[in-house]
């Protein structure tokens, strides 16, 4: 349903999204995650056609959004963050207005408006002004606007932000049901929510895709089998030195500070090392009071943080490697003679030229792949349409045949009924004549 191929978005010298590729299948609910500034909103804006990619292609149900924007956008229903609505319209007026914007047929418009009001649970407030309804209902109105026109793809940006737990549960259930009829891309900072709703998760960081998998697989891959969560009172701030005091503990991370001045920590230990035993023995020696200790159950949030941390470490290592290479290169150049420097500069220019040529060849190959992808997608749609047409034709033929058979059966039944009626009349007539004859004989 959605294919993102080698997409890059640059603003001057800043690269917001760097050569990302992923696919979303029909009727999938996909969570799109990333820290602030990761390129999440830029990607979603490109998916909706609001901004164009610098390089690469986005194909929505067989239509390249840059080359066939109207056809591609017709497939999309977009629910932006912070619900931008017309506050002086009633709920029904806004949804009707969205139907007009999306060019819904006049014949079906009224019925579709009613259906979407029913589907999104807005019947009780349909005649109220939008400014007078709750935040939860406003989210539903925004979602109703996205649903209008029955798009194949729904892109929902932070659909539950600012809602209370009851409203979150309602919207979550609604999105699950929508996944039966639509392909859904969902952006959210509430990772427990993504874990419950989404079948697949895409994580982006610093403009690059760092993970694509199911929530369960991500949790399993990043699981640390030897870790505990401990809540303590640490008046002397000794928790930071625990890895020094206990040799088997590899790291200590603070999770949160509680209102009662206690703190919750995540403690990692070496393989086959019993953290609990050492914690109970050593913590009192350093004036750390244990309030609670439990085994760490890995969640999507833990997986997300682990993946982002690993990516940050990898980026730092790469930056450090480049810094060392540049420093070594500068030191080498500084010790060169004038003639050697001239040769080195010539070699550097040649190297840059080869890199540019390689980049151009790569872009040409990517363009070819994109064209092939679009062609394949169009063929798939054409085949699907032909198959649907053939199925409809077969169904029509079957209905016609059934109708014919029903008519035939009805005709035969009418004949049988007529025959039975005639026979019944004949029998009745004969009985009457026999009775009359008997009466005449008696006289």
Overall pTM > 0.95: no
Work out whether strand 183-187 and strand 29-33 pair parallel, antiparallel, or are unpaired.
parallel
State residue 30's pLDDT score: 92
Helix axes 300-334, 338-442, angle to 10 degrees: 160
Q: In degrees to the nearest 10, what's the CA dihedral of 66, 363, 378, 79?
A: -40
Ramachandran assignment for 12, one of left (phi > 0), alpha (psi -120 to 50 degrees), beta (any other) = left
**What is the rounded distance in angstroms from the CA atom of residue 98 to the CA atom of residue 61?**
22
Are 377 and 61 in contact by the 8 Å Cβ rule? The answer is: yes
C-beta of residue 24 within 8 angstroms of C-beta of residue 1 = yes
83: number of Cβ within 10 Å: 20
Pick from 172, 171, 96: nearest CA to 130:
96
For residue 216, CA distances in Å to 166, 299, 421 come to: 25, 9, 72
Specify the pLDDT at position 114. 92
Query: Any residues with CB less than 8 A from the CB of 380 and at least 6 apart, and which?
Result: 62
Alpha carbons 394 and 278: distance in angstroms, whole number = 73
Phi/psi for 335 (5° steps) reads: -90, 0
Strands 14-24, 29-33: pairing is unpaired
For position 297, what pLDDT does the model report?
66
The predicted structure's pLDDT at residue 382: 77
Say how far apart CA 303 and CA 306 lie, in whole Å.
5
Locate tokens 């792949």: which residue?
Answer: 369
pLDDT at 99 (0 to 100)? 92
Look up residue 90 and give its DSSP letter.
Answer: B
Residue 171, pLDDT score: 81
> How confident is the model at residue 222, as a pLDDT?
67
Question: What pLDDT was estimated at residue 194?
Answer: 82
Confidence at residue 224, expressed as pLDDT on a 0 to 100 scale: 58
DSSP three-state, residue 229: strand
Q: Please state the separation of Cα 174 from the chain's center in Å.
A: 14
C-alpha closest to that of 120 among 81, 161, 76, 154: 154
* 333 Cβ neighbours under 8 A, 6+ residues apart: 341, 344
Residue 225's pLDDT is 61
Cα distances (angstroms) measured from residue 93 to each of 99, 103, 147, 263, 280: 10, 15, 15, 51, 64
Q: How many CB atoms lie within 10 A of CB 37?
A: 12
Structural domains in the chain? 2-221 (3.40.50.300), 227-297 (3.30.70)
Residue carrying the six token digits 């006289």: 443
294/309 Cα distance (integer angstroms) = 24
Are 320 and 253 contacting, i.e. CB atoms less than 8 angstroms apart?
Answer: no
- Which DSSP category does 294 fall into? E
Cβ-based neighbours of 304, under 8 Å, separated by 6 or more = 33, 191, 203, 218
Run of H or E including 118: helix 106-119
Report how far residue 338's alpha carbon sits from residue 345's, in angstroms, rounded to the nearest whole number. Answer: 11
Spans of the chain below 50 pLDDT: none
CA atoms within 13 Å, Cβ hemisphere of 349: 6
């Amino acid at each position: 349903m959605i294919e993102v191929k080698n997409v890059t978005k640059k603003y001057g010298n800043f690269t917001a999204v760097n050569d990302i590729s992923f696919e979303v299948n029909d009727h999938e609910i996909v969570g799109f995650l990333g820290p602030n500034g990761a390129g999440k909103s830029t990607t979603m804006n490109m998916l909706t056609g609001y901004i164009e990619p610098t390089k690469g292609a986005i194909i929505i149900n067989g239509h390249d959004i840059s080359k066939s924007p109207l056809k591609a956008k017709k497939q999309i229903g977009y629910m932006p963050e912070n619900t931008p609505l017309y506050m002086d319209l009633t709920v029904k007026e806004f949804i009707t207005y969205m139907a007009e914007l999306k060019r819904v047929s006049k014949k079906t418009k009224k019925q579709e408006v009613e259906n979407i009001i029913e589907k999104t649970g807005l019947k009780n407030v349909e005649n109220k002004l939008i400014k007078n309804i709750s935040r939860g209902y406003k989210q539903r109105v925004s979602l109703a606007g996205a649903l209008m026109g029955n798009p194949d793809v729904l892109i929902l940006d932070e659909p539950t932000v600012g809602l209370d737990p009851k409203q979150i549960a309602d919207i979550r259930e609604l999105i699950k049901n929508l996944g039966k009829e639509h392909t859904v891309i969902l952006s959210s900072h509430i990772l427990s929510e993504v874990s419950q709703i989404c079948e697949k998760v895409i994580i982006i960081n610093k403009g690059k895709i760092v993970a694509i998998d199911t929530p369960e697989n991500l949790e399993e891959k990043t699981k640390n089998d030897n870790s505990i969560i401990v809540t303590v009172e640490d008046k002397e701030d000794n928790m930071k030195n625990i890895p020094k005091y206990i040799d088997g503990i590899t790291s200590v991370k603070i999770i949160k500070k509680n209102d009662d001045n206690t703190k919750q920590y995540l403690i990692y230990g070496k393989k086959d090392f019993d953290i609990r035993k050492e914690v109970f023995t050593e913590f009192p020696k350093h004036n750390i009071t244990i309030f609670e200790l439990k085994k760490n159950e890995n969640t999507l949030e833990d997986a997300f943080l682990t993946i982002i941390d690993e990516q940050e470490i990898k980026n730092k290592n790469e930056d450090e490697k480049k810094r060392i290479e540049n420093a070594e290169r500068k030191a080498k150049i500084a010790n060169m003679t004038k003639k050697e420097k001239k040769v080195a500069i010539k070699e550097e220019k040649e190297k840059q030229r080869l890199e540019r040529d390689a980049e151009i060849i790569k872009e040409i190959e990517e363009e070819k792949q994109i064209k092939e992808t679009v062609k394949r997608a169009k063929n798939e749609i054409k085949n699907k349409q032909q198959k649907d047409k053939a199925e409809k034709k077969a169904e029509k033929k079957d209905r016609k045949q059934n109708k014919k058979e029903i008519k035939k059966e009805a005709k035969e039944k009418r004949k049988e009924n007529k025959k039975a009626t005639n026979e019944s009349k004949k029998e009745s007539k004969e009985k009457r004549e026999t009775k009359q004859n008997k009466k005449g004989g008696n006289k």
